[in-house]
Each structure stands twice: as C-alpha cells, then as structure tokens.
A and B are shown apart, each in its own frame.
Chain A
C-alpha cells in the first residue's frame, strides 16, 4: 500500500529566477550564496512519506522553513520544484479549482494563532469548512456541534471567539479542522501560543482523539519536547533542509549530527526514553535469576529509576515472553539522563564499556 502523503524533492525559493536557484542548489551551491543574490531558499530538497494514521512532526527553529514546507503540502504555496502527492493524487499538478476542492474536502489546517473568524460564532467557525463544501445549514450545524463536543466544547456553540480562553479558541480551531472529515490534518505550531499547562492538555487531547480518529497528521513545532510527545516520527529541519527523520528515540539516542544533538540537550529525556533504549543488550544471562522486580522494553525511564533504586544490581529487562533482552545498570541511567548519548565513559576496561548502539529501540509514544 502506498503511503498516504508523500513529498518528493520539494524546493521552495523566493525571489528572482527561482528555477535557476533550484538548479544551483542541486549542484551544491550553498544557501548563503543564494541569499547574497537576493533569493531565499526556504525549503531545499525535502522528501518524506507519512503513513495513514501517523503523526509526523516537523521540528525546527524559526526560519528553518518548516511552515513553508507545511504550506506546500496543501498547495497554499506552490513548490518551486518537486511534488506532493496525497492518496496517490499529485497535488502539484492540479489547477486552482481542483486544488481548492482537495483543500475543502481532504486536507484541513489548524493555525498557530487559531485564525478564528471574529465575526462568526463558535458554531459558525466550526462549520466554516462545511459551509465552503456547500453542506446544507442543518447538517453542517449538527456536524459542527459534534466536532465541538469531541473537542470538549459542548455548550459553547453560541459563544463568540473573543469570549473564549486561548486554549478553548484552539479547540474551536481543532473542531473546525475535524468537522470537515478531512483525512489529513496540517497543524502549524498549533499549541505554541498556549501556556505550558494548557499546551499539555491539548497535546493529551490530540493524542486521545488520534486513538479513535486515526487521522494522518503533519504537526509543525519548534519545541522538541512537544515533537517527542506527539510524533510517531520526527523530521528535524535546519536552514531549509531536513537533517534527520526518525522516531523520538532515533533523534535522541542517535542524532544525525551535532546540530540535532545540541537540540536534544534540553529535552527531558526521562519522558522519552524507555528501558529498550537505555538497556545494555549484552547480558550474561543470569541477571533475571533472582526474584527482584524486572522491567519490559516499554518501561518508561522514570520507572527504571525507581526499580534501580530498589534492586541491588542492574535491572533486568524482559520481553513479553519473559526472555531476558538486556540489563540496565544504574550508572547507565545516570549517563542517559545527561546529554551524552550511548555509554557512560569508564576508566580502563570496565565490563560494561561497550557501545549501546544497535540496541533494540522501541517507540516512545
């Protein structure tokens, strides 16, 4: 089965003669050289696939081109080169009218600053996409009501956007996106404008909704913690290029370069890492022989710490079948909590001074 959303070699160049700029970029010209000529390469050679039901997070600092990338996915910006296909349809080849139809029916979007229409009630806002589709009033109000209820806003239908708190406004934004039954949800820094507690609530709610709705979601953020919490897979962008794509643990444990590594420094590792990522797979086989409590590869880092404090030796990690797959000595825990990937450094020839690379990694979501 083909992937649901596919981006191939996307380029977006602003300024004069963008096609030439793409050629030069392909030949290896640096982005900064182009900038001297007054052209800005916002996205360079971005390729990725998003599977159905997956949350794909694009992470990068401001100016890294992530928002530009997102807008090429639904055709708000036309790629300078490359193409986007969704459910086998090449969006880049569509005319304006067909593109609008795709946006109205298949792709919806949630914005950073909510972008609610201040002159429409909450219900009318949630029903906006349906109104564009031409759904009759009664039906669109019913479906908008359902979407609002799903987002926890039942009873607020007749309020106005300016009466709601930021978090509630973004729930309306989410309801507006969900009401159209679009399969693809583009979320542009959707939770960045919310304060931390509300942001966590919204993240939880999105994950909760996703369990039942199984939408395909592309989520843009500049916050790696958020990326790690939400993303099934994460693409890290820098200066217009995707520098690494992988799961949260891939990024954290095996950063592709120093840039990504420097990013992960501030991440709360204890929330992301699991026993599977931390354990030393090279076992002697007897660690699980005592009656001490053991962990599974999915055990979160915090649980490992608790276990490690209670058992006198390294914590054993058993898979579903009860087979020993690895051990976690307490020193290893401390090492992973810091910004060092892999092993703690040791003095001379300690027995656990082996690389953790190649260890089994489980998804952290």
Chain B
C-alpha cells in the first residue's frame, strides 16, 4: 500500500494559505473582533445585576414569571461567583459565532433545499466539519487568525454551522408540497413563495436549528478557551490545569446557566416569531387557565421595562466609570501601556506571572495575563501576540520549542536554576531509589509510569532517552495525560498507599505536600538541570526598555519562590494577585529591587499602597 501523503498536502495547503491569503484572514479577523468588542462592550457596560434584570424581563416576556425569576437568580449566582465578566465575554463569543453561523448557514440551507446538487455537495462537507475533532481545526485557526477571540469564534463557528444548515434545509423541505403548489398555482413568484410560505412554515424547525447552533457553540467554548479566548471557557481550562475542582465547577456552572437561558429563550423566541407558534400559543391560552405565574407582559410592556432598566443601567454606568480606575498609584512609568503576559499553568509560572502583573500595574502598565498550553504559548510569542512569559525551561525541556521559534524570540535570561527533571515514587515504596531499581519491578507499578502532557518536553526525553538508557522501554508504558491528571493520580495512590511512579520536576510543591523520593539518575540521562528563563517577543525590550531591563535583572531564590507559591496555593484560585500583594508586603524592598523606579524610594515602598 503506497503512503498517500495527505498530511503533507494539508500542511502545504495551510502554509500556502498563511502566506498568500493573510489579507483575507486579517479582514475576517477585523470583522470578528469588531463584532465581539461591540457586543462585549454593550454587555459589560451596565451593572451586572441590572443586566441580569434586563435578561430576566426578557425571560418573563418570552416564557413567564417563573422563567424570569429563575433567570435572574441564575445570573445573580454567576455574578456572586465573580464570574460576571467572564460570563459576558463567553456570551459575546457565542453570540458572535451564532450570528455569523446563521448568516452563513440559513442561506446555505435554503439553497440546499432548492437544489439537490447543492445538498449533495454540502452534506459531506458539513459531516467533515462537525465530526473532525475540534482541536485539529483549532491549530490552523491559530495559524490563520492568531490566538484569541477570532480563532475561537472561527473554531466555534465551523463546529456549530452544521445544524443551522441541516435544519434550515429540513424545515423547508418539510413544508407541505401541496402548500407550495398552491402558492405557485396562484402565480406567486419564487421569492415570495420562499418568504411568505416556505420560510414562515419552516421557522419552527429553523429556530430549532438556531438553538442547536447556540448549544454547540457553548459546548465549544471550553475548547476555544485553549486558544486564549478567555471567558468561562478559559476559566474552566485554568481550573482544570491547576486541579482546582471548585473553580472548575463554578465556571462550568456559569456555562450551564448561560446554556439553559439561551436554550429556553431561543425556544420561546421561535414560538414568538413564527406565525404557527403564535397560533399554537393563542390556542393554549384560550384552552388553558390564566394563572399569575403564566402571566406574561405584552411586548410593549416588556420593551418598556427593558428600556427603563437599560436607561438606569446606562446612568449608573456613567457614574460608575469615574469611580473606577484609580489603579496606578505608584510611579507611573507605564502610562497605561498595554503588556500581555502568557503563562503555562505551572506553579512557578503562575507565581512569577502574577508577581510581574502586580509590579507592572503598580508602575502604570495595563497588564493582561492569559493562560495557555505550552505549544500555543510559544506560537503566540513568536507571532508577537504575547509580550513575554516567565516560564521557559532551557536548554533541555523546551529545547524543541526553542529550536522552532528561537530566532523569533528574545531570551531575557534565567531567573531561577538549576531545575531538575525526575521520576518520583512515594517514599513508602521500598527498594526503589534509583531509575536502575525500576528494572524488574514493573508488576509493582502495573507497568505504568504516569506522565503529563505528551507535548511536554520532558515526556519526549523520558520516552526517547531515559527509558532506553536504563532498559525500561519494554517493561514500562508511559501514560500520556496531563499535569493535573498526574497529580490527581498521585494523590489517589498516595492516599491508598499504592506504589506509583510519576514524572515530576523540581521545584514543585508536590515535594512539600507528599513524602516523595526523586529517583536517582546515575547515568545522567535526564541531562543537566535547566534554568527557568524569561522569553519575550522580538523587539519587546526595545519597545519597553524599562521593563526589559527589569526582567533581565530579575532572579529569585528557591526560598522566595516556594514562599510565594505557597502563599498563592493558600489564597486559592482567583486571588493570585492578592496573595502576591500580601507576600510583597511581608517582604518589603523586593518590589523596588526587582523593578526600580528611582522615584519611589520612600520608606514604605511602592508596594505598600492599598488599592481597595
């Protein structure tokens, strides 16, 4: 069987597109970003509870009092979990994706309903788009649109397109042929037949399609979070990345609230705008009983309610905006300049990222931090969308990324080292102290070494070199997974005192939480330890000479790092920056040492200012 080089062709095709069609992608990106920013601005402008009120009135109008009350309760819950902004950005993302999906899918569905050829061509394409694993589409989306919202929207869009097209086609085909014939028999032009007969009658089915588009869009949100769209999807990813079950659940619940609200609202909207649905509702009303909780305000009333709330919201927004933003209390070096920090959810990365976020914000910079997986993080740095990241393990662990992107990156130097990579076993596992001891013990460990993300540098090193060096390749299987999964597995085994071998590295908080043995590496197969480097995009240090200099001089001791990590661990997810602030307060002088402003040499230090 000859090898068909399909993958190569796809590679070539993608690079050709990147090289030659960038104007198109840039145009799409601009449109998507514009839409997203517009919707997000509208949604985040009013006070959360006011917007919740507006959404609740809409629910009351469309579905009744109970739905209105529940909607308000749901959104209030989201707000109380401090996920409001994230929820709104997710909502914007889904709305933009839905909007574009409908603009594409409804005409396409109509066309497919009218032409068997089109239908036959469209169907397999839709199957491909819908069943192709979304990560496969996500990576080209990053190449075309870069990290962030447009890539997320496009990936969501592609995934969510299919039901829109299918249901539109189905709805139109389902319209009684005799009705279409009747329209034609009275001389109706084809366009009017479509607009006056087929579309109105197909509307319930089309609305079911819209509903599906939105639901699929929401289900895609978490995956889109991996390309840095932020929002609830990003929060879920972060939480999972850090094994924070509680936060993951909260963010997940936020998605559920959005999903249920959008599902019920589009369902009810379908009944409201389709003539058949209105007819059915009117029938139900005359047949059924008029109870208070079934009462629904008239559209005019609802509109008035929404308007009043919106006006109040707008008014409060005006007053609110002046009260915000009294952030830059230290010496204003940054003058609002935007800095983007990316990080991998590893503890030292989180600690230093939020340390620098705090330091830079104190100095007047406008800092955004976003969590990524290692691959996208390097891609983002190389394409200049991320300014810097603090967690690059060089020269060994991240060697492959350095090889690929090194010439497009600026190494701002090592701030910690040396590190080490190792396999670790709990200390209750007797007789296994070095890698060589693992030989012949595979039954004890069920032949498994629990690994982390297959894309991680140390996983390649382990599989290709370390196992071979000690002759363990035949005995042990390295289980691919993720860092949180590995840690969860370690926690479970540790609690039951089962033997387990995991990939681990130092520094790591697991060594302080559990009594673990690092397996010795007499042959030096793991190589020499890495240094943890700060990498910046090309030209960042030139654009921001102060920050560049601060980062180059930055270094931390193990005591400082573990202390900060422990503080963050205690404060919990979502309060990283508070933990940093507290820690800086306890260690006066460090802020000024790491990011000297020259002016802020006062006794209390620039870090001592409270911002509440």
Per-residue contact bits, chain A 106-129, to B (CB 8 Å; 1 contact, 0 not) = 011101110101111000000011
A128 to B182, CA, bound (A): 10
Flag if A180 contacts B279 (CB, 8 Å): no
Contacts A132-B192, A160-B279, A162-B279 given; indicate if A115 touches B186 (C-beta within 8 A). Answer: no
A118 cross-chain contacts in B, Cβ below 8 A: 201, 276, 279
Q: Which of B33-41, B62-70, B122-130, B173-181 contacts A (4 or more CB under 8 A)?
A: B173-181
Docked-complex contact A129 and B186, CB < 8 angstroms: yes
Q: Which of A24-32, A95-103, A301-309, A326-334 has 4 or more CB atoms under 8 Å from chain B?
A: A95-103
Alpha-carbon gap, A206 to B563, bound state (A): 96
Do B279 and A111 have beta carbons less than 8 Å apart? no
Q: Which of B178, B189, B197, B201 contacts A111 (CB 8 A)?
A: B178
Given A102-B187, A132-B187, the answer on whether A119 and B181 have CB atoms closer than 8 Å is no
User: Given A118-B276, A119-B276, A132-B192, do A101 and B187 touch, yes or no (CB 8 Å)?
Assistant: yes
How many chain-B residues does the 8 Å CB contact rule pick out? Answer: 19
Nearest neighbor of B189 in chain A, beta-carbon distance? A100
Does residue B200 face the partner (Cβ distance < 8 Å to A)?
yes
Q: Which residues of A contact B279 (CB under 8 A)?
A: 118-119, 160, 162
Give chain A's interface residue range (CB within 8 Å of chain B).
20 to 34
Which residues on B sit within 8 Å (CB–CB) of A101?
A: 187
Contact of A119 among B184, B189, B192, B200 (CB under 8 A): B200
Give residues of chain A (242-294) contacting chain B, Cβ–Cβ below 8 Å: none
Tell me, yes or no, whether B188 is within 8 Å of chain A by CB: yes
Q: Is the CB of A180 within 8 A of B275?
A: no
Docked-complex contact B179 and A108, CB < 8 angstroms: no
B187 touches A115 (CB 8 A): no
B185 within 8 A of A: yes
Q: At the interface, yes or no: A76 with Cβ under 8 Å from chain B? A: yes
Q: Is A72 an interface position by the 8 A CB rule?
A: no
Q: Which of B186, B188, B197, B274 contacts A180 (CB 8 A)?
A: B186
B185 x A74 contact (CB < 8 A): yes
Query: With A and B bound together, what is the CA distance between A105 and B188 in angstroms?
Result: 11
| Bound CA–CA A119/B276 (angstroms) | 5
Question: Across the two chains, which residue of chain A brings its CB closest to B176?
Answer: A115
Q: Given A118-B201, A119-B276, A119-B279: A109 and B186 within 8 A (CB)?
A: yes
| B271: min CB distance to chain A, Å | 13
Closest to A100 in B: B187
Is A104 interfacial (CB-CB < 8 Å)? yes
Contact of A108 among B178, B186, B200, B201 (CB under 8 A): B186
Residues of B171-212 at the interface with A, using a CB-CB cut-off of 8 Å, are 176, 178-179, 181-182, 184-189, 192, 197, 200-201
26 A/B residue pairs, CB under 8 Å, sorted by A:
A76-B185, A100-B187, A100-B188, A103-B184, A103-B185, A103-B187, A107-B185, A109-B185, A111-B181, A111-B182, A112-B178, A115-B176, A115-B181, A117-B182, A118-B276, A118-B279, A119-B200, A119-B275, A119-B276, A128-B186, A129-B187, A132-B186, A132-B187, A133-B187, A162-B279, A186-B185
Instruction: Rank and list the top 10 A-B pairs by shortest CB-CB distance, nearest first.
Output: A104-B187, A119-B275, A103-B187, A115-B182, A109-B185, A100-B187, A115-B178, A129-B186, A119-B200, A132-B186
Q: Knowing that A76-B184, A117-B197, A133-B187 touch, tell me 5 more A-B residue pairs with CB under 8 angstroms.
A: A100-B189, A104-B186, A115-B182, A119-B276, A186-B185
